[in-house]
Chains A and B, each alone.
Chain A
Amino acid sequence: MTALLDIRNLKARVDGREILRGLNLTVQAGEVHAIMGQNGSGKSTLANVLAGRPSYEVTEGEVLFEGRDLLAMPPEERAREGLFLAFQYPVEIPGVNNIYFLKAALNAIRKHRGLEELDAMDFLALAREKMKFVDLDESFMNRAVNEGFSGGEKKRNEIFQLAVLEPKVAILDETDSGLDIDALRIVANGVNLLRNEHHAVVVITHYQRLLDYLIPDQVHVLHDGRIAKSGTRELALELEKRGYGWVEEESAAL
């Protein structure tokens, strides 16, 4: 079976500095992967490269999305094909209405897939249903995108978008950072929505705490722009106990 996401020997530069140095990762439908690692290991760079941020330069390797060349697609096409990035720092966009924005996004994706676009009424019904998962008040819908939202509200808005857009592959870039337990549960709920044979989730995190609520199939440790070690949930627990030092030493010894 073709993997949903297949990253092969990916190397990427930001501001002339090489951050990813030959990263390999294969994600199959139905899987939840956790990527952990210290600050500066390349976690967020990976997320941004996959989403197509213009200032990130891929120098080598390839990424296949259901067998197709992801890196050749502009960001909007990646999204329409089914890739979603929950941002570490969601952007505030004054003057752009949250509900209008999300309806435009969903309809762009539906159109790409040959589905009929939703009208305002149908969209609102869908949005209301999804809002339950993230415990957002309806008044959020009529505010400007992320404008004046608290940190937790911004993260919940990301998960809300995820729930509405139902991507094939969702990448969560430190969505759990700075959240309290209640908010963490909400994030986990959102991820669990996608937990079935058609979707996959890549959770980038600094902490193992989130992994109490969503059990990953695989855990990877990112070090120096490569996957230094992969394992099961036990690996995350071990990292929590022993820190990252031993993995880095092991990796250096290889």
Chain B
Amino acid sequence: MTETLDRTENILSRYAAMGESSVRGLQGPIRDLKEQALQQFLKEGFPTTRQEDWRFTNTAALARAEFLAPEPSRRLSESELSPFLLDRTDHFVFINGSFSRELSSTTSSIELLFFPLQELLRQNALAVGDLGKHASLEGHPFTALNTALFTDGAFIRVSEGVVLERPIHLLFVSTGGDKPYVSHPRVLIVAEPGSQMSVIESYVSLSEGPYWTNGVTEISLGSNARLDHYRLQQDSEQAFHTGRLQALLDRDSHLTTTSLSLGSGLARQDIGTKLSGVGSACVLNGLYLVHGKQHVDHHTIIDHATPHSDSEEFYKGILDEQGRGVFDGKIIVRKDAQKTNSGQVSRSLLLSASAIADTKPQLEIYADDVKCTHGSTIGQLDEAALFYLRTRGIGEKEARTLLIHGFASEVLERIKVPSLRLRMERAVLQRLPADVNV
């Protein structure tokens, strides 16, 4: 026991040291925020399965591993990068968490402000406004750790009334290294009133090795703004991925955020939206595929804090071999949030006898004039459908593939960026039993 405690102390002190070096040279509110975040993390430590929110997801292996700060990133060739790029999008590239201007396709304009956080930190020009405002630290040790340790990331601001035609692609590439490292990408998206854009965050890997991505994204939508947001997680299957997304929606704004999770050995996504303006609406889509011993956990919280707000949630998981999927979806309807309209659907498809799905819908409703529906199913492939396809001449393996793809396609169809949808189609098909050209 003492040994365990010593070890825990040891690990935490290493993060404490990283924290001290990350505030070097910083002054003012950002330094205060980072120091406060570090203290919060040291206080809470790594979560354990004794905590309700972490009941299904064990982070012991993550806590035990000795992660270092990434070494200065190596240069990437175009051919290494090109498989990850998406057609008809503007991309900003990060290598092991650090922004690479030379690999990025675009720069700031009047319509779209883009700042790498590293530059803002270096110039001590990172104002603590929206940053740190949405993603609360308490009860979120990984958010606290990210806040304490982030050294780079993206700050995107779209000006009032601007409609960006081309989606923004934030591409986070992990190269792998000799020793496991951790990066803490931080993203802040501010959509000013009446603006409209699409943002794709993708997390990909060039290596099979272990590393840890611990990202936090904060989103602020002004009145009548629209954001179509995607988070694609294709980290190495040896990697850990912890991600937090927290969004604040003002009057009549609309957010769609789609989580696409295929990678990592252990992935945990905490997604929270707060509907604080009348007429605001959010859609949370999710598709996750696990095989081997992969574990993917989505925790979502939709907070209806105003009358006349809508939310829709549509999550699907495909679980093969010894994979495990967790979906915990909480809907809060506050006392004043009359006329709330909310629907939640979560479906898990088990492809093997040893795959596990845990789903936990939670409704906390304090208003009386609301419409909230939820449904969750865990099931296997429909034998009747399988037989039907086979009676038409389609082989068993192909029939299974068609059905699994069909299950996934109800989420894939919701992807509005064509190049991303195509890439996801391919990624999903690659994981299926037969070669089928859908």
Contact = CB atoms under 8 A, between A and B. Distances in A.
Tell me, yes or no, whether A binds B: yes
Interface of A: 51-54, 74-76, 78-80, 84-85, 87, 90-97, 100-102, 104-106, 108-109, 112, 144-145, 161, 165
Contacts of A102: 392
Given A54-B383, A104-B398, A76 B406 contact: no
B139 to A, nearest CB: 37
B422 interface: no
A168 to B, nearest CB: 13
A161 B406 contact: no
A42 B436 CA distance: 37
Given A54-B383, A76-B390, A76-B399, 7 more contacts: A75-B391, A79-B390, A84-B391, A90-B388, A95-B410, A96-B389, A96-B403
B393 A112 contact: yes
A105 B408 contact: no
A3 B392 CA distance: 22
A95 B408 contact: yes
Nearest to A79: B393
B433 interface: no
User: Which 10 pairs across A and B sit closest by C-beta, in order of nearness?
Assistant: A95-B406, A79-B393, A105-B392, A96-B406, A75-B390, A108-B393, A91-B388, A95-B409, A109-B393, A76-B390
Contact of B402 (A51, A54, A76, A104): A104
A106 B436 CA distance: 14
Interface string B362-401: 0000000000000000000011110111111111101100
Given A54-B383, A96-B403, A87 B394 contact: no
24 contacts: A51-B391, A74-B390, A75-B390, A76-B390, A76-B391, A79-B392, A87-B388, A87-B391, A90-B388, A91-B388, A93-B382, A93-B385, A93-B389, A94-B406, A94-B407, A95-B405, A95-B406, A95-B408, A95-B410, A96-B389, A101-B402, A104-B436, A112-B393, A165-B392
A6 B391 CA distance: 19
Contacts of B399: 76
Q: Which of B384, B385, B389, B408 has the most CB of A within 10 A?
A: B389
Nearest to B399: A76
B391 A96 contact: no
Interface of B: 382-385, 387-396, 398-399, 402-403, 405-410, 436, 438
Nearest to B412: A95
A81 to B, nearest CB: 9
A112 B393 CA distance: 9
A52 B406 contact: no
Contacts, number: 87
Contacts of A84: 391-392
A51 B384 CA distance: 13
A192 to B, nearest CB: 21
Query: How would you classify the secondary structure of chain B's contact residues: helix, strand, loop or mixed?
Result: helix
A165 B393 contact: yes
B393 A161 contact: no
Contacts of A96: 389, 402-403, 405-406, 409
Nearest to A107: B393
A76 B396 contact: yes
Q: Which of A74, A80, A96, A102 has the most CB of B within 10 A?
A: A96
Q: Which of B387, B390, B391, B405 has the most CB of A within 10 A?
A: B391
Nearest to A78: B391
A106 B394 CA distance: 9
A76 B394 CA distance: 6
A87 B392 CA distance: 11
A49 B396 CA distance: 18
A108 B401 CA distance: 15
A80 B396 CA distance: 13
A85 B391 contact: yes
Contacts of A108: 392-395, 398
B433 to A, nearest CB: 15
B375 to A, nearest CB: 14
B341 to A, nearest CB: 23
Contacts of B387: 51, 53-54, 75, 91
Nearest to A82: B393
B382 A144 contact: no
A183 to B, nearest CB: 21
A101 B392 contact: yes
A91 B393 contact: no
A79 B384 CA distance: 16
Nearest to B438: A100
A91 B385 contact: yes
A149 to B, nearest CB: 13
A95 to B, nearest CB: 3
Nearest to B384: A91
Nearest to A106: B393
A78 B390 CA distance: 9
A95 B406 CA distance: 4
Contacts of B389: 93, 96, 101, 105
B397 to A, nearest CB: 10
